[in-house]
Structure 1
Amino acid sequence: MLRIILLAVALCLGPIAGAAQQTVDQPSSTIAVEDSAERDAAIAVRIRNILAELEGYEDVTVAVTSGIVTLRGTTVDQALAERLTGLVARVENVVAIENEVRQTTDVVEQLDPAVERFLDRFRQFVTYLPLALVALTAFVLVVSLGFVIARMKRPWDRLAPNPFIADLYRQVVRLAFVIAGLVVALDILNASALLSTILGAAGIVGLAIGFAVRDTVENFIASIMLSIRQPFRPNDTVEIEGDIGKVIRLTSRATILLSFDGNHIRIPNATVFKSRIVNYSRNDERRFVVDLGVAYDTDLVEAQALALETVRNLPFVLKAPAPSVWIEALGDSAVTLRVAAWIAQRETSHPAARGEAYRLCLAAMNAAGIEMPGPTYTIIGAPASAPQQAASPAPAPRQPAKAPQNQDLEAQDVGVQAEDELDEMISQERQEQADHDLLSSAAPEE
């Protein structure tokens, strides 16, 4: 009984599935009972006329028998062959379609469409060329106007605090006019929609370049900030990251110092901007310090008064701020007195003043009979079990060296002649490379 039911179901579903398969890309209209040769000829003529108006079907032939359309031939594209079935199915009175059209393998026929497309594009380019030339001319005129305005000195040099910032203004003006020229050209070409694409691509490229040259960008920004802030001036004595020297110039990449040994020190501006800067030249008054070591049995009050009086009487020492002296430390063999005094460093050499203070304080201590002992060393002998060595006389204790009695107690010249020579070297170099300096004496001090 079960077999009879399954057989009946199969017989019912078989025609339905076959009909579904036959209806794929086939006409779905009813089939007429009468067969007409005239109707077949009319169908064939209609299909041929349609294919004649379409490109790519020149080698396709059409045959119609009892409403069944048979298509044979070749096309340059398989997609064109597959479109035929759907196209012919729309023709009235077509019963079925046999599509035997295949893609051609002839190289010449395959290349002909590509050559035709190239020729079409070339003709479009030639037709479009006058308008493109007009757009290019407009772009060049706008950009040229921007470069002329940027080349002018008066507005930008007056607005900017230094030449470096003025050049930045000029670069911004050039970039603005380039973008404006691009907008005008694209508008003439009726392609303004491309502007957002171009700007987006430029932003992505700029971001990638920014990550790639991050240190360079950081250094460039630091150069802008330093040129605006001006934390030092030419010839200023500064200390940056442990390097001490006189400022020669500030460039767009580095700060150039001249050490007191005559060496050039180049420090990247990013380092300078983030570092602790000690400017010794900003204030004219500068303090120097002298350390003196006296014996433990010395009258410290007398020694301090003598050192203070000696330093106070130096002609290059300022009265205000007044000199001072104090006990700095208790050493192994001496008590350290520290004497501090102030000078006007634009008239007095700091190293020379400090050295002259040392010399005269030593002479004053020697004249007053105040002992200034040197380091004392204790030598530990061999253990008791060691063999006895031949007795030898103990060496006499070393006497501390004393300063000569006939020293010149007059202060020597401590002018700034040595530093003047360094300043002359710096001035000469700045004149040779004046265009590369961002420091300006007219800029506000930080």
Structure 2
Amino acid sequence: MRTLILLLTLLLPLSAFAQDAAITVGNGPSDAQIAERLTGIYSQLGDTEEVSVTVQNSVVTLAGEAANTEAAERAVRIAQRVDGVVAVQDEIIRTLGVTDNVTPLVDRTTELSTQFVRALPLIAAALIALVAIFLLGRLLASRTGLIRRMAGNPFLAELIATAIRLAFVMIGIVVALNILGATALVGTVLGGAGIIGIALGFGVRDTVENYIASLLLSIRQPFRAGDHVIIDGNEGLVVRLNTRATILMTLDGNHLRIPNAKVFKADILNYSTNSERRFSFRVGVDSADDPVSAIAVGVKAMSELPFVLTDPAPSGMIVEVGDSSILIDFFGWIDQRETGFGTARSQAIRDVKDVLEADGFSLPEPLYRLRVDGGVELPKTTGSKPENRMTKKAPTKPTVREVLDTDAETTIVERVAEERAQLSQDENGTDLLDDSAKTE
């Protein structure tokens, strides 16, 4: 036991000495060699030639003068890199003299100016190459006829021409930088352009989405100029389609702009695609009347209207038995290029109502039963007995009434045509609608 304690007592100081032994002692360079090496290095550098070196036990002490803090710190970093140096003491005096600090700047400026003058022919060659490539791209992009025939769409042709110009500009920049020998800068420019492109993509996401939607709409052509459409619940006539929005003129004569990104994703109802359009209305007859006879009378009246088409022929159908009436839906077709939809429907409703009443059919109103509490007596009526709902009215002779004007409304159509005429005269006017292109 005593022997074990004695061994531990001897080993503990040895282990502590081993942990503290961070500085090795061996066949490294001597103090004189370190001093000689550093002095030789500092003498070759203009801003550290006044620095003096003292070495003792591998500890370097730097004294003397340096022009500025940068030169002094540079001397310290050099000393720390020399083999065998344990520590460096910085006792250098920063003179901060005007001459010592201005002279190197003047020398560097003079050297750069000399190099720039020498590089002028190379710079001129790079500029010539850049301009030549740019002009070549512009020449190719100006072949709008060829590009339009290839693209089949004016907006797509313009986009391709713009892409050609941008591509040739980038090629010109890369070639010019390679001529100047700035190959490392080429990667930086391309990488920076990619990062900037991503940042701009996030920043102008809505604008880019509208632009892409405009391109797709110009290719698909879902409607023509002057078409009567409903886009996402907005009704009007199409005035034009530009690179940002679709312009409608509402039926009350106002302009409505809908972003193309919204138009592309919206449900579009186009009334102008087919010239024939069906209108409908509902009429209620008394529950005691024969609804089939009422349908026959109403359909016959609609058939006699000059604007109602015979093919498809007008029709009617029972849709519901209400509390006090039988509800019938009547349908008729018109040519909306010649007949106004609203006025035609109005005329048909009036004529069917008059004919049904003249033929003895009742068009009843809802009945309500009132209960009076408290035993209040109702006043007695004198004279004729009240009419029974179940008795059919006698037919009455229809009176001659003024015929409504059912011609198609042309006011909004004319306004749209006027705007498009002005748009065609404006050189800067943009319209992506092409009547010669195929529609969806």
Smaller-chain TM-score bracket: 0.7 to 0.9
What is the aligned partner in structure 1 of residue 430 from structure 2? 436
Alignment of structure 1 residues 91-102 onto 2, 5 Å: 102=91
Does the Cα contact within 8 Å between 1:321 and 1:342 map onto a contact in 2? yes
Equivalent of residue 231 in structure 2, options 236, 240, 261: 240
- Letter aligned with residue 72 of structure 2: D
In 1: Cα distance, 2:86 partner to 2:320 partner? 115
What is the aligned partner in structure 2 of residue 183 from structure 1? 174
Count of residues in Structure 1 that have an aligned counterpart in Structure 2: 420
| Deviation of 1:261 (Å) | 1.4
Q: Deviations over 1:242-287 (max 9, x none)?
A: 1111111111111111121112222111111111111111011211
1:366 is paired with a residue whose SS is helix
- Letter aligned with residue 191 of structure 1: A
What is the aligned partner in structure 1 of residue 400 from structure 2? 408
Structure 1 residues 97 and 8 mapped into 2: Cα distance closer, same or farther (>3 Å)? closer
Does the Cα contact within 8 Å between 1:284 and 1:345 map onto a contact in 2? yes
In 1: Cα distance, 2:353 partner to 2:158 partner? 58
What is the aligned partner in structure 2 of residue 166 from structure 1? 157
| Deviation of 1:425 (Å) | 0.4
- Letter aligned with residue 277 of structure 2: R
Structure 1 residues 394 and 219 mapped into 2: Cα distance closer, same or farther (>3 Å)? farther
- Letter aligned with residue 95 of structure 2: D
Does the Cα contact within 8 Å between 1:223 and 1:253 map onto a contact in 2? yes
Structure 1 residues 253 and 80 mapped into 2: Cα distance closer, same or farther (>3 Å)? same
Does the Cα contact within 8 Å between 1:236 and 1:246 map onto a contact in 2? yes
Does the Cα contact within 8 Å between 1:295 and 1:373 map onto a contact in 2? yes
In 1: Cα distance, 2:135 partner to 2:328 partner? 73
In 2: Cα distance, 1:405 partner to 1:57 partner? 124
After superposition, the CA RMSD in angstroms is 4.3
In the alignment, does 2:208 pair up with 1:206?
Answer: no
**Structure 1 unaligned blocks of 5 or more:** 29-39, 90-95
In 1: Cα distance, 2:401 partner to 2:430 partner? 49
1:77 is paired with a residue whose SS is helix
1:74 is paired with a residue whose SS is strand
2:280 is paired with a residue whose SS is strand
- Comparing 423-432 and 348-357, the one that deviates more: 348-357
Alignment of structure 1 residues 6-85 onto 2, 5 Å: 26-27=29-30, 52-60=43-51, 73-75=64-66, 76-81=71-76, 83=78
In the alignment, does 2:225 pair up with 1:230?
Answer: no
In the alignment, does 2:291 pair up with 1:297?
Answer: no
Structure 1 residues 365 and 105 mapped into 2: Cα distance closer, same or farther (>3 Å)? same
In the alignment, does 2:144 pair up with 1:150?
Answer: no
Equivalent of residue 96 in structure 2, options 84, 107, 114: 107
In the alignment, does 2:413 pair up with 1:423?
Answer: yes
Does the Cα contact within 8 Å between 1:56 and 1:80 map onto a contact in 2? no
Q: Deviations over 1:328-383 (max 9, x none)?
A: 222333211111121222222221221111122122112212111233334443x3
What is the aligned partner in structure 2 of residue 349 from structure 1? 340
1:159 is paired with a residue whose SS is helix
Does the Cα contact within 8 Å between 1:25 and 1:86 map onto a contact in 2? no
Does the Cα contact within 8 Å between 1:360 and 1:411 map onto a contact in 2? no
In 2: Cα distance, 1:371 partner to 1:272 partner? 47
What is the aligned partner in structure 1 of residue 256 from structure 2? 265
Does the Cα contact within 8 Å between 1:248 and 1:426 map onto a contact in 2? yes
In 2: Cα distance, 1:104 partner to 1:236 partner? 87
| Deviation of 1:297 (Å) | 1.0
| Deviation of 1:79 (Å) | 3.3
| Deviation of 1:231 (Å) | 0.8
Structure 1 residues 4 and 366 mapped into 2: Cα distance closer, same or farther (>3 Å)? closer
| Deviation of 1:6 (Å) | 7.7
In 2: Cα distance, 1:248 partner to 1:320 partner? 32
In 1: Cα distance, 2:359 partner to 2:87 partner? 132
Does the Cα contact within 8 Å between 2:236 and 2:250 map onto a contact in 1? yes
Does the Cα contact within 8 Å between 2:355 and 2:398 map onto a contact in 1? no
Structure 1 residues 268 and 46 mapped into 2: Cα distance closer, same or farther (>3 Å)? closer
| Deviation of 1:443 (Å) | 0.9
Structure 1 residues 245 and 62 mapped into 2: Cα distance closer, same or farther (>3 Å)? closer
With structure 2 as the length reference, what TM-score do the two structures score?
0.79
**Structure 2 unaligned blocks of 5 or more:** none
In 1: Cα distance, 2:142 partner to 2:281 partner? 57
Larger Rg belongs to: 1
Structure 1 residues 70 and 222 mapped into 2: Cα distance closer, same or farther (>3 Å)? closer
| Deviation of 1:195 (Å) | 2.5
1:329 is paired with a residue whose SS is strand
What is the aligned partner in structure 2 of residue 125 from structure 1? 116
| Deviation of 1:114 (Å) | 4.9
| Deviation of 1:130 (Å) | 3.8
| Deviation of 1:302 (Å) | 1.3
Does the Cα contact within 8 Å between 1:254 and 1:268 map onto a contact in 2? yes
